[in-house]
Amino acid sequence: MTFSEKPVLVFWETTKACPLSCVHCRASAILGPVPGELTTEEGMRVIDQVKSFGTPPPVLVFTGGDPLMRADLPRLLAYAKRLGVPFAVSPAVSRNLTDGVLADLRDMGASSISISLDGAGAETHDSIRRVAGTFELSLDRVRTATDLGVNVQVNTAVMKANLRELPAMLDLVRGLGVEIWELFFLIQVGRGSGVADLTPAEYESACNFAYDASRRGVVVRCVEAPFIRRVASRRSAAGDYWRDEGYLAMSRGLGGAAGGLAPSTLGPRGTLDGDGIIFVGHDGTINPGGLLPVPLGNVKDDDLAAVYRTDPLLNKIRGREFSGPCGRCSYSGVCGGSRARAYAYSGDPLGSDPACLLSGASA
């Protein structure tokens, strides 16, 4: 099954403005809007186009940059609520994210907000976010949002700098009472081009750990690591099979779960850029995903639903018309490889994902 008629998520990069300058970010964030940013009226038309996908419409994720840098964000959220378009907000953790803003997001009907935690302590997190004090502020914002009844998702960007901290991160997430932990695996674009990538073995170790985490009372989502579905399938069928020392070191840091281990919260099938996901840039450019900068059109001139349903590249992605190992892999239906990483490494969005352990084999 593919998401041929409508995506699960539409991401709208509301602005490039952001008070942070994280080492891995795809964007070159600045402190103010750049020319060409969609106006309020144009933003409302984006919401109209999300609504036009049909009932129920996809979830619209207001992201950036930092969407809180847009003065008209409350108006845009109110419009989405009025149209019945479900939405989530991905704010940067800064002094802009006040108690009042969190309460407003709750009252406006945000289905969730995402807050990033990229280390188990301040040293790692703040070095990645490049603003001192961000770790403690992030913890405070998660706790406050939870107390206010806001559904919080914690996002963690996985890279060499924090790979071995994942067990402590799981403890931290569980201790905060957060139910959803999204692991975002690095794509070397934007500022992330200078960040060391994991090896295929390290990706495999991280995904095996993610599978373990998904059985400990947390909903785990993996972004740009769709081969987690292969790992989950093999682990659930055959038990432990990955014995790399990196994974074993992380698994030793795992605790148990109250009442014993639960079934994995990983679904049998995820999304890919263009297959369940579509992205609208700050200037209205339509891309398959936020990390796959292949322009497909512009919401100022093109209908988002029509582009999603008929674009040749997106139909090839949904049809798994890939080259190399990804094109031959028996797991292509449930995985398909990161299209963004394939593009970042080879310039071909239909190429093979070099992070997968099977990318060097005829799977």
Least-confidence region, from 4-8, 61-65, 97-101, 268-272: 268-272
Residue 23 confidence (pLDDT) above 60: no
Q: What share of the chain has pLDDT > 90, as a percent? A: 78
List pLDDT tens digits, range 58-79.
999 999 989 999 999 999 999 9
Q: Higher pLDDT residue, 169 or 260? A: 169
Residue 122 confidence (pLDDT) above 50: yes
Contact 331, 363 (CB under 8 A): yes
Residue 257 confidence (pLDDT) above 80: no
State the pTM of this model.
Answer: 0.93
Band of pLDDT at residue 334, cut at 50, 70 and 90: very high
Adjacent-strand bridge partners of 280: 12, 286
List pLDDT tens digits, range 137-159.
999 999 999 999 999 999 999 99
The domain segmentation of the chain, as residue ranges, is 9-272, 321-363
Q: Higher pLDDT residue, 20 or 182? A: 182
Furthest-apart CA atoms within the chain: distance in Å: 55
Structure tokens at 203: 């990706």
Residue 363: predicted pLDDT: 41
Judge: domain 9-272, CATH 3.20.20.70. yes
Structure tokens at 52: 């036009």
How far apart CA 275 and CA 337 sit, in angstroms, is 12
- Cα 263 to Cα 142, 155, 217, 232, 257: the distances in Å are 26, 22, 9, 11, 11
Q: 88 phi and psi, to 5 degrees?
A: -130, 160
Contacts of residue 1, Cβ cutoff 8 Å, sequence gap at least 6: 269
Residue 29 confidence (pLDDT) above 70: no
Band of pLDDT at residue 362, cut at 50, 70 and 90: very low
**Angle (CA) 182 24 332, round 5°:** 55
Average pLDDT of the segment spanning 273-289: 97
Band of pLDDT at residue 242, cut at 50, 70 and 90: confident
Contact 73, 38 (CB under 8 A): no
Residue 258 confidence (pLDDT) above 60: no
Residue 44: predicted pLDDT: 98
